[in-house]
Amino acid sequence: MKLVIGIVRPEKANDVLEALFRAEVRGVSLSRVQGHGGELERVETYRGTTVQMGLSDKIRFEIAVSDEFVQPTIDALCEGARTGEVGDGKIFVLPLDQAVRIRTGETDHGAVTPVKG
Amino acid sequence: MSAVPILAAASAVDTGDTAWMLAATALVLMMTPALGLFYAGLVRSKNTLNTFMMSIAAIAIAMVTWALVGYSLAFDGTASLIGGLDHVGLHGVDFAPREGMTIPHLVFMAFQATFCIITTALVSGAVVERMRFGAFLVFAALWSVVVYAVLAHWAFGGGWLAAGGTLDFAGGVPVEMASGFSALAAALVVGARKDYGRQALLPHNAVYVLLGAGLLWFGWFGFNGGSGFSTGNNSVLAFTNTLLTPACSLVTWFVLDLIRGRRVTAIGAATAIIVGCVLITPAGGFVSPGWAMALGFLGALPCYAVIVVRPRTRVDETLDVLAAHGIAGFTGILFIGFVAQAGWNGISDGLLYGNAAQLGDQALAALAAPAYAFGMTFVLLKLIGLVMPLRASEREEALGMDVTYHGEEAYVTGEGAILVVPEDGARIPVPVADPG
């Protein structure tokens, strides 16, 4: 059981969701984050104030999956988020000690497997 | 505006008329930033400023082209196709009224300028979220002369439509049909946004849309109420009809929304206000208040239909200028042909009151204006496209027009912003947002 964290471009978030649904990965959380990953910094000017924008908006996906779903999840993130330009994002895979489905109290594999039907 | 002075009358300035026209001009100018707000709310947040700026740019560009050449081509002389060049650079435009008018020539020119400005801004709705800002500026400059000034001459300046008897009170021809059908052509030439039809591209702020629509309605009292160039009966009728028709369009829209989705939508309501104002624009000073209400109820139907159908096509006419302005303007122009009443307008009856010829005159305008606007805009953009790219790259489109063309964001937080000190160009890493 792993926690897959994917940080992607906001404009690719819908493509990632589509790819995840195609891979039958159904449990997803996402949040808006700001980060810096080596992309070119944008210069913006507000009246007399010129600034370099060191942070870019990103979307952070958090997906808890059972082991057999780890690779399909990574593949879906790559497929949905890749443009080939600097700034496409990163994927981190972390071990997951425990997962609990609050509604039923199911744990671990049962908790990260979507309910059928 | 049929009341364009052809009769030679004593030309003395009337202070009451002038006072109202000064206020009306300011009201119409306010409509353009209001339109910018309306449009900005309808796009995604990353394109907010660019969309708003297209309207602001129209004020800059169209005002200058109007003063240099547009006004002269529209309002110098009564040749059938296009005006003369005697007023180029505002030559001869001063305090003396135009023939048969009671307001200074300068006020008349300024009032007409605000029409050219908002019409140019209207067309931007077709190409937001992907057209290059520079290419839009060039387009706005040429379009305001080649399309707007010519159609204004036809309908307002004594050109062939006005001379032939077409009634167009405040701009069904040069403003509404011109912008609507030009928008269709512009959408076809510039092409759809890259994610159009594949992803949901949703309005980012419905409150802007409602506020923009409300301010547009407010400004429209100057637009329609000022198009009689006086405080006379036609102006009073148009002013009051501008209250009645949009209210009736709103009712129709509510009902259609309820039938279609069982909910009354806010953005639908904002759209209905615009549609109602457009419907009454050509007809304002010519039809009775009762018929103005009927126009609001009935005229909203074809506009609603086009707004429902258009997004299912491949034509990314993004903010539905065709439906809200082109179709509504077309409907309003034709409606005059049926229900105009000389008892109310002092000029002519329509078909229902025994004058079938009026409907013919209206139909002619309803065919000629869309054909000219669509054709000329199509050719104009194709030509500009030969000289410079019309649209942003896919990458720029993904990043957003605000950052790409303006170097600003509408909703900047300041987090991660590093101040660039201009004196030595050195970059000192002090976060702007740091309260210390």
Using CB atoms and an 8 Å cut-off, which of residues 58-77 of chain A contact chain B?
none
**Structural domain range at position A102:** 2-112
What ipTM is given for this predicted complex?
Answer: 0.80
The answer to whether residue B7 is domain-embedded is no
A11, A44, A54 ranked by CB distance to B398: nearest: A11
Whether residue B287 lies inside any domain: the answer is yes
Comparing C-alpha atoms, which of A31, A4, A23, A32 is closest to residue A114? A23
CATH number at residue B66: 1.10.3430.10
Distance, in Å, from the CA atom of B87 to the CA atom of B76, rounded to the nearest integer, reads: 6
How many angstroms separate the first and last alpha carbons of chain A?
A: 23
Q: For residue B65, tell me if it sits in a domain.
A: yes
Count of A–B CB contacts within 8 Å?
Answer: 48
Any domain includes B176? yes
**Which among B399, B415, B422 has the least Cβ separation from residue A50?**
B422
Classify residue B330: in a domain, yes or no.
yes
Percent of chain B with pLDDT over 70: 94
Domain count, chain A: 1
Which residues on chain A are in Cβ contact (under 8 Å) with B44?
none
Side chain identity, residue B243: L
Residue A52 lies in a domain: yes
Q: What percent of chain A has pLDDT over 70?
A: 97
Q: Residue B428: is its pLDDT beyond 60?
A: no
A98 falls within a domain: yes
Give the range of the structural domain holding residue B220, as residue numbers without chain letter.
15-396
B324 versus A86: the higher-pLDDT residue is: B324
Does A94 map to a domain? yes
Q: List pLDDT tens digits, range B32-67.
A: 999 999 999 999 999 999 999 999 999 999 999 999
Label residue B423 by pLDDT band (50, 70, 90): low
Contact between B416 and A53 using a beta-carbon 8 Å cutoff: yes
Domain assignment present for A117: no
pLDDT confidence bin for A112, thresholds 50/70/90: confident
Cβ atoms of residues B362 and B166 within 8 Å: yes
- Whether A49 sits inside 8 A of B419 (CB atoms) is yes
Residue B253 has pLDDT above 90, yes or no: yes
How far apart, in whole angstroms, are the C-alpha atoms of residue B235 and residue B239? Answer: 6
- The 3-state secondary structure of B377-390, one letter per residue: HHHHHHHHHHHCCC
* Pick from B395, B409, B427: CB nearest A52: B427
Contact between chains at A44 and B427 (C-beta distance less than 8 A) = no
Let me know if residue B408 belongs to a domain: no
pLDDT per position as a tens digit, B149-204: 999 999 999 999 999 999 999 999 999 999 999 999 999 999 999 999 988 899 99
- Residue A102 burial (10 A CB sphere; 0-12, 13-18, 19+): exposed
**A17 class by beta-carbon count within 10 Å (0-12 exposed, 13-18 middle, 19+ buried):** middle
In degrees, to the nearest 5, what angle opens at C-alpha B80 toward C-alphas B383 and B220?
75
CB contact under 8 A, A9 and B398: yes
Comparing CB atoms, the residue among A46, A52, A85 nearest residue B418 is: A52
On the question of pLDDT at B323 being above 90, the answer is yes
B424 Cβ under 8 Å from any chain A Cβ? no
Is B429 domain-assigned?
no
Please state, in angstroms and rounded to a whole number, the distance separating the CA atoms of residues B322 and B306: 8
Give, in degrees to the nearest 5, the angle at Cα B48 between B35 and B274: 25
B-chain CB neighbours of A54 within 8 Å are: 416-418
- In chain B, the number of structural domains is 1
A4, two tokens: 């897959």
Residues in chain B: 436
Residue A106 inside a domain? The answer is yes
The 3-class SS string of B213-260 reads HHHHHHHHHHHHHCCCCCCCHHHHHHHHHHHHHHHHHHHHHHHHHHHH
CATH number of the domain enclosing A104: 3.30.70.120
pLDDT in tens, A21-66: 999 888 899 999 998 877 777 888 888 888 888 888 899 999 999 9
